[in-house]
Amino acid sequence: MMNQSVGEEPPSILWGLDPMFNAYSRLYVKDILQMRESCQVPGIYFYNSHPIFKVDVLGTVVYKREREDFFCYGVDDGTGVINCLCWKDEQCKDQGDTAKCATSLGSSTHGGFDPANELKKLCQAQRCLSTLDIGELLRVRGPVKTSRQQREVMASTYYKVSDPVMVVQISWMMEVPRLYRECYDKPLRLENGAQDPNAPGTSAVSLLGKATRILKDFLKDREVTRFRPYDIQEILQPLVSSQPQKTMSKQEPQAGSSSGLSSSSNHLRQLLRESLQTLMDEGLVFRKVKSQDEVYHVTEQDKDLLMAIRDIIKEDCRREKYAEKGCHVLHILSSVRQRYSHNVSKAALELALKALECNSDIISTRDSHYAVF
């Protein structure tokens, strides 16, 4: 695995502009193994110009080694095997002291609630989730390291995944390709002059970013629930007006003014369309019904959508299948599309779920599962 040259890397001062830099990237193991290490900062790796140092891996344990302080698991996600270093908890390492503590607590308790027994159960549950055998499913989060020319994950969080009907694995297999399409496989784009200003497409990207931020601030400040494109078109007019216009032909001096106005108007409509598409991709807005009358609903302000989601979760959590761990986000998405609108995206649903959770209308029971209080 060869390092790339400094010229091929964006300057380290700009890495924080990439959302992937501070996120746990759900990359395939084969890509983690093939990532090139930065020559500017050791421990930082690049996938398709994106700086990465933390990953999120889900896979099957294919080998294990135990040491005094840590477990070493080989995790296979179907594309490759990576070594994961999982540190033991202090209670897991020193079971003797835990037993002594439990004994001393038990000796001073007479009937009723038994702290010794509860502590023993807690320690057993913790060891059960942190000690895996070959063939079990493991999820690991942590920074990537290279030790002895071998790529591995230094786990900051890890646990055994109970997935008897493969719900978690199917959800993972659907989510990761989407992340690759929408984020990982797209080259890093830096705005506001972070890239070479003479590079092709840089000004267009910067203009689209500014337009998107203006629309986001407007929708948030005004608490807009729904709108049509012509309602907000004038907000972006100053951006188009400030852009340098092409030099007009000297052979058409009279038609120059009308041609300039037409070009500016087309540019404004194109910028508005691209900005609205960006907002839809992020789930901030959606179209409940696709018709000639373009009406966009603001996800977090759509009370009908929020109420429909809450009712679906409340109703389905009464069923035995969902009573214990709640409804999975993909189940909720399918129900919302059937009962409310076919055009609600997963990104919009996740924003709506966050809004409901912030209002304490629902709770997140576990990864991607929700229930009503």
- Does pLDDT of 139 surpass 50? yes
Q: Are 183 and 246 in contact (CB under 8 A)?
A: no
Q: Band of the pLDDT at 26, cuts 50, 70, 90?
A: very high
Out of 149, 178, 207, pick the residue that ends a domain: 178
Is 57 among the domain residues?
Answer: yes
The CATH number of residue 96's host domain is: 2.40.50.140
Of the candidates 48, 51, 39, the residue with the CA atom closest to the CA atom of residue 15: 51
How far CA 130 is from CA of 59, 138, 341, in Å, comes to: 15, 9, 42
Say what the pLDDT of residue 25 is.
Answer: 94
Out of 159, 178, 197, pick the residue that ends a domain: 178
Say what the pLDDT of residue 248 is.
Answer: 37
Who wins on pLDDT, 62 or 265? 62
The CATH number of residue 328's host domain is: 1.10.10.10
**Six token digits for residue 260:** 């300039």
Is 221 among the domain residues?
Answer: no
CA distance 59 to 32: 14
- Does pLDDT of 97 surpass 50? no
Say what the pLDDT of residue 244 is.
Answer: 54
CA distance 145 to 314: 44
- Does pLDDT of 171 surpass 70? yes
**Six token digits for residue 309:** 């989601």
pTM value surpassing 0.85: no
Is 124 among the domain residues?
Answer: yes
Is 86 among the domain residues?
Answer: yes
Out of 178, 202, 226, pick the residue that ends a domain: 178
Who wins on pLDDT, 187 or 373? 187
Say what the pLDDT of residue 191 is.
Answer: 52
Q: Starting at the edge strand that comes first in sequence, how are the strands of the sheet with 226-227 ordered?
A: 226-227, 296-298, 285-286
User: Do 27 and 168 sit in the same domain of this protein?
Assistant: yes
| Total number of domains constituting the chain | 2
Q: How much is the average pLDDT of 306-335? A: 91
Say what the pLDDT of residue 253 is.
Answer: 45
Reported as half-sphere exposure (CB side, CA atoms, 13 A), residue 120 has a value of: 12
CA distance 311 to 357: 14
Of the candidates 214, 212, 140, 220, the residue with the CA atom closest to the CA atom of residue 172: 140
Q: How much is the average pLDDT of 82-102? A: 64
- Does pLDDT of 288 surpass 70? yes
Is 30 among the domain residues?
Answer: yes
pLDDT one-digit tens code per residue, 340-360: 999 999 999 999 999 998 888
What's the chain's average pLDDT?
A: 81
- Does pLDDT of 8 surpass 60? yes
Which residues, at least 6 apart from 66, have a Cβ–Cβ distance to it below 8 Å?
72
CA distance 292 to 285: 17
Domain that holds residue 360: 302-372
By the 10 Å C-beta count (0-12 exposed, 13-18 middle, 19+ buried), 319 is classed as exposed
CA distance 155 to 139: 10
CA distance 129 to 136: 11
Q: Which helix (H) or strand (E) holds 316?
A: helix 303-316
Q: Phi, psi at residue 53, to the nearest 5°?
A: -140, -10
Is 146 among the domain residues?
Answer: yes
Q: Which residues pair with 152 in a beta bridge?
A: 83, 145
Q: How much is the average pLDDT of 198-213? A: 66
Is 250 among the domain residues?
Answer: no
pLDDT one-digit tens code per residue, 255-282: 444 555 567 788 888 889 999 999 999 9
Amino acid at 242: S
Q: Are 324 and 265 in contact (CB under 8 A)?
A: no
Q: Return left, alpha or beta for 193; rule: phi > 0 is left, psi -120 to 50 is alpha, else beta.
A: left
Q: Which helix (H) or strand (E) holds 244?
A: none
Is 203 among the domain residues?
Answer: no
Say what the pLDDT of residue 247 is.
Answer: 37
- Does pLDDT of 137 surpass 90? yes
Q: How much is the average pLDDT of 202-207? A: 59
Q: Which helix (H) or strand (E) holds 211?
A: helix 202-222
Say what the pLDDT of residue 27 is.
Answer: 95
Say what the pLDDT of residue 105 is.
Answer: 42
User: Do 166 and 306 sit in the same domain of this protein?
Assistant: no
